[in-house]
């Protein structure tokens, strides 16, 4: 049965070839998996290094901020994983943070980063309201317990019209906008971190109210009267000087 022998040999050859192909495939697949694992490990290592560099940049920025404001140890609970940071994260729910802001806002300063509207927003380069870290900023960016951010007006009397104009970018303002005035937070605006700890964009606009500050208004009015009197004196002196000539 020569034909049967040939058929058997052919089948054996085919089986041997299939096995060789299978072995090569398994070998190639193993090498490919090893390659993917190596690449994945490298990517993971790079991500860790990038995160460490970003954290170093934020820490450097935070240390620069502290050199320009009094050092104040946190008196409120700190999230354990941020204890060693220059500006730690507060370990309290947002509702409690707002209550503290309304009564003793200075306690929130160690957890807050001052910021102001970015040049890109002011110049019209971007449509979004963007804020960036700024030591003399009039807004605090504070990370909440769930990892979000709230934007709080820096407490104090509003003395300039530009302060109100800035607030209007991320707050609906109730009340008569007379200067000087005091503000009352109704609901905090929220921000989205574009660059952690350094740059944010407005996520949700919210509300606050402002009311005339009688104590400061009296001082401002007296200053205005003095300025007017000084102006009249200077005008009189100028007139008399010209007449004498």
Scanning the structure block, which residue is given the tokens 């820490």?
59
The whole model's pTM is what?
A: 0.62
* Calpha distance 145→47 (Å, rounded): 24
- Torsions phi, psi of 54, nearest 5? -60, -45
What's the pLDDT tens digit per position in 72-106? 778 899 988 888 888 888 999 988 998 898 888 88
* Calpha distance 229→227 (Å, rounded): 5
pLDDT at residue 225, as a whole number:
47
**Percentage of the chain lying above the pLDDT 70 cut:** 64
* Calpha distance 103→35 (Å, rounded): 59
* Calpha distance 187→203 (Å, rounded): 13
Scanning the structure block, which residue is given the tokens 């920025």?
61
pLDDT at residue 220, as a whole number:
46
Tell me if 164 sits within 8 A of 189, measured CB to CB. Answer: no
Q: Could you tell me the two tokens for 20? A: 């060789």
Scanning the structure block, which residue is given the tokens 């993971």?
44
What's the pLDDT tens digit per position in 69-80? 666 778 899 988
| R_g (Cα) of the chain, nearest Å | 33
Tell me if 97 sits within 8 A of 74, measured CB to CB. Answer: no
Strand ranges (E), 44-163: 112-117, 130-133, 139-143, 149-153
* Calpha distance 7→15 (Å, rounded): 12
Strands 171-174 and 206-212: parallel
Residues of the chain falling short of pLDDT 50: 216-225
* Calpha distance 111→87 (Å, rounded): 6
Strand partners, 201: 130, 192
pLDDT at residue 191, as a whole number:
92
What's the pLDDT tens digit per position in 95-137? 899 889 888 888 999 999 889 999 999 898 998 999 998 888 8
């Amino acid at each position: 049965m020569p034909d049967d022998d040939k058929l058997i040999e052919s089948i054996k050859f085919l089986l041997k070839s299939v096995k060789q192909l299978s072995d090569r495939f398994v070998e190639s697949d193993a090498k490919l998996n090893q390659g993917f694992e190596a690449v994945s490990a490298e990517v993971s290592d790079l991500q860790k290094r990038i995160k460490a560099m970003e954290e170093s940049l934020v820490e450097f920025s935070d240390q620069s901020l502290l050199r320009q404001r009094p050092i104040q140890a946190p008196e409120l609970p700190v999230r354990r994983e941020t204890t060693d940071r220059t500006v730690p994260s507060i370990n309290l729910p947002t509702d409690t943070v707002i209550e503290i802001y309304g009564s003793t806002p200075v306690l929130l300063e160690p957890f807050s980063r001052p910021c102001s509207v970015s040049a890109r927003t002011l110049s019209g380069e971007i449509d979004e309201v963007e804020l960036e870290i700024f030591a003399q900023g009039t807004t605090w960016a504070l990370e909440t317990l769930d990892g979000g951010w709230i934007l709080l007006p820096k407490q104090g009397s509003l003395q300039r019209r530009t302060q109100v104009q800035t607030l209007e970018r991320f707050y609906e303002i109730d009340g008569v906008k007379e200067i000087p005035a005091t503000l009352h937070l109704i609901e905090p605006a929220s921000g989205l971190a574009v660059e952690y700890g350094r740059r944010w964009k407005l996520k949700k606009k919210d509300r606050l109210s402002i009311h005339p500050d009688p104590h400061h208004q009296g001082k401002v009015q007296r200053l205005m009267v003095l300025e007017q009197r000084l102006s009249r004196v200077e005008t009189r002196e100028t007139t008399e000087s010209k007449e004498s000539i």
